[in-house]
Structure 1
Amino acid sequence: MNTQEKKITAVESPTLYAEIRDYKIAYRSIGNGPPFILLNRFRGNLDDWDPAFLDALAKKHTVYTFNYKGLASSTGSPHETILGFAKDAIDLADTLKIDKFILGGWSLGGWAAQVATTEFPERISHTILIGTKPPGKVNYPLEEIFIKTAYIPDYTLEHEMILFFEPTSEISRNAAIKSHERINQRKEKDPKVKQELWEYYGKAHEDYANDPYGARNKMMTTRIPILIISAHHEVCFPPENWFELNQKLSTAQLITIPQAGHGPHHQYPEMITSYIETFIKNT
């Protein structure tokens, strides 16, 4: 008799809850292998990761996605500092008895990932940053169209093309359609982050830009391997902000994807996963 269990895919994965002091963190888990915890973007909930990207990572890792405290299906009061967002990953790992793990962050999640990397370096083996910016002040701001679109209450496919893809590229537009279809395959839906809670992201951004933790300087001295994945036309966090630090971040490698936007892992889930796996294997 074949006793091998059917692998749970990202679309099928149930929502679980980690008890952390007086609140609960909602999370999902798929795959087997070294733990890989992912930190989400502005307004992102458990459903906003492309399942093709999660399934690709889960071929070699146990992949964890979660909602920050107080947002979407997690309970409690939301954080007002980026350190609070970062510590959610550590608290989740503690509750699940995970000692050391790979940490990935997309957009705002990339800010939290960098602060977690510099504040809790003993817990993290590798850091993967997607579509994000370094701590502190940066010289290349986001484009106005991103701000106008990011605060629209309900995204359509056209909004997603602007926010996460490259609308001038037919390749990217077609990829956006496929990603949108994959994300919407899920039947068990996670609650959206309520609009009245969006202000907490703004507070976290101000904290991150002021960098009271000295994360920018700590990034320059860390021994943790860091992979930065960006796009040639990033409407949110231009890769030029990383170019300025290239010679100072001794463990960091930067990849920029042509004809892509703020969500390259949704446009090329298998390819981006391949880059991540190669980086982890060789660093």
Structure 2
Amino acid sequence: MTNVNLSETAPTQFQDIGGVSLAYRHFGKEGAPPVVCLQHFTGTMNNFDPIHTKRLAQDRPLILVDYRGVGRSGGEMPDSMPAIAADIIAFVKALGLKEIDLFGFSIGGMVAQQVVLDAPELVRRILLAGTGPSGGEGMQEFSPEVLEIVNRPNSTQQERSLDLFFSKSPTSYAAGKAWLKRIAARKLDREPEAKPQVAEAQLVALAKWGAIPATDRYGDLKKIKQRTLVVNGRNDIMVPTINSYILQQHLPDARLILYPDSGHGSHFQFSEEFAEEAARFFAAA
């Protein structure tokens, strides 16, 4: 592999899934199951960390994909995780893929869990970052702290991302600013920001996912037999960190990494270390 970061140059392509086209980028070393990467709340392909994608692409293909209605994908964003997962499953099958790995961040991690539940034969391994199980702790709605940041007047998306994804320490904030610089490095063929409909639909999907069932609260996790790596920061204010522990305790074959002095975007803060952990996880026999 060259030192060219393909996340900055790989062209955006489009795949039809029954009358709607999903925007995606496909790059990396062929020969292994591709890692399909699923993004966070209102996030697009632009938001994936180039340090992660460059490292993983040395070993295997990567597929970054935007949900229906996000970026340049057609249609409107669905308002449930099963509907979003159905699109991803249709997308994977339309590409002719028989086996994939999944890397889901935040909402992407919830979609990844649903994909595995609905099409277990497609998925080999799962990496879940900054996410939680259906019916998890504090997941029915955002906390007052998060809502204050999201609705803060006269703030930019970048400023809100820093406060939502990183801790308040100077070290964490500096790492957040470095991440923002990295994801802005791609200058051409960038995805447009998500439309208001995306946030509205994803909030409904989150509320449904976070609803606590009357019985067998984490029963679905026992059905996910694939090896899983769960990653989060010490204090995730968006998807409370306790949910990462719950995932590790209830998934049959899960490992857990919690990074210090960090939050929802811990894998961005510890980008090099995480990239190596992710590469080892996907490469291990």
Q: TM-score normalised to the size of structure 1? A: 0.89
Secondary structure at the aligned position of 2:218 is classed as: helix
Hey, what's the Cα distance between the residues in 2 that align with 1:156 and 1:218? Answer: 35
How far does residue 183 in structure 1 lie from its aligned partner after superposition? 1.1
Q: Distance in 1 between matches of 2:2 and 2:249?
A: 47
Q: Which residue of 2 is the match for residue 180 of structure 1?
A: 180
CA deviations on 1:37-93 (whole Å, 9 max, x unpaired) are: 011111101211122221121111211111111222100132121111112221221
Read off the aligned partner of 2:227 and give its amino acid letter. Answer: P
The aligned counterpart of 1:255 is 257
CA distance in 1, matches of 2:2, 2:55: 18
Within 2, Cα distance between the matches of 1:219 and 1:82? 15
Q: Write out per-residue CA displacement over residues 170-208 of structure 1, whole angstroms, 9 at most, x where no aligned residue.
A: 221111121111111111221111113321102211221
Which residue of the partner structure matches residue 205 of structure 1?
206
Deviation at 1:152, TM superposition (A): 5.8
Q: 1:221 to 1:263 in 2, by over 3 A?
A: same
Assess, with a 3 A threshold, how the Cα gap between structure 1 residues 199 and 278 changes in structure 2: closer, same or farther: same
C-alpha spacing 1:58/1:281, structure 2 compared with 1 (3 Å): closer
With over 3 angstroms needed to count, the CA separation of the structure-2 counterparts of 1:224 and 1:151, relative to structure 1, is: farther
Contact kept, 8 Å, 1:100 with 1:122, in 2: the verdict is: yes
CA contact (8 A) 1:133 1:242 kept: yes
State how 1:104-183 maps to structure 2 within 5 Å: 104-138=103-137, 143-151=143-151, 155-167=156-168, 169-183=169-183
User: Does structure 2 retain, via aligned residues, the 8 Å contact 1:142–1:238?
Assistant: no
Name the amino acid aligned to 2:263: G
The one-letter amino acid of 2:173's match is R
Tell me which residue corresponds to 1:28. Answer: 25
* C-alpha separation in 2, matches of 1:270 and 1:77: 35
**CA separation in 1, counterparts of 2:201 and 2:219?**
25
1:5 to 1:150, Cα distance in 2 relative to 1, 3 A = same
Q: Is the 8 A contact 1:56 1:269 kept in 2?
A: no
What is the identity percentage for the equivalent residue pairs of Structure 1 and Structure 2? 26
| Cα distance in 1, alignment partners of residues 142 and 239 from structure 2 | 6
Deviations along 1:236-264, one digit per CA (max 9) or x if unpaired, are 11221333454432211111000111112
RMSD, aligned α-carbons: 2.5
Q: Is the 8 A contact 1:165 1:263 kept in 2?
A: yes
Whether the aligned pair in 1 keeps the contact of 2:225 and 2:251 (CA below 8 Å) is no
Give the SS at the match of 2:64: strand
Structure 2, unmatched stretches of 5+, are: none
List per-residue Cα deviations over 1:9-60 (Å, max 9, x = no partner): 1111211100111110000122114200011111101211122221121111
Q: Does residue 1:13 correspond to 2:14, yes or no?
A: no
Q: In 1, distance between residues paired with 2:116 and 2:3?
A: 34
Secondary structure of 1:229's counterpart equals strand
Corresponding position of 1:278: 280
The question of whether the paired residues in 1 share the 8 Å contact of 2:233 and 2:260 is answered with yes
Q: TM-score, normalised by structure 2?
A: 0.88
Q: Say if 2:77 and 2:202, in contact at 8 Å, map to a contact too.
A: no
* Cα pair distance change 1:97/1:165, threshold 3 Å: same
C-alpha distance in 2 between matches for 1:68 and 1:262: 21
AA aligned to 1:92 is: F
- Distance in 2 separating the partners of 1:171 and 1:20: 43
Higher mean C-alpha displacement, 226-235 vs 48-57: 48-57
Using the alignment, how far apart are the partners of 1:58 and 1:238 within structure 2? 30
Q: CA deviation at 1:216?
A: 3.3
Give the unaligned 5+ runs of structure 1.
Answer: none
Change (3 A) 1:60 1:211: farther
Q: In structure 1, what is the Cα distance between the partners aligned to 2:152 and 2:15?
A: 31
Structure 2 counterparts to residues 49-64 of structure 1, below 5 A: 49-64=48-63
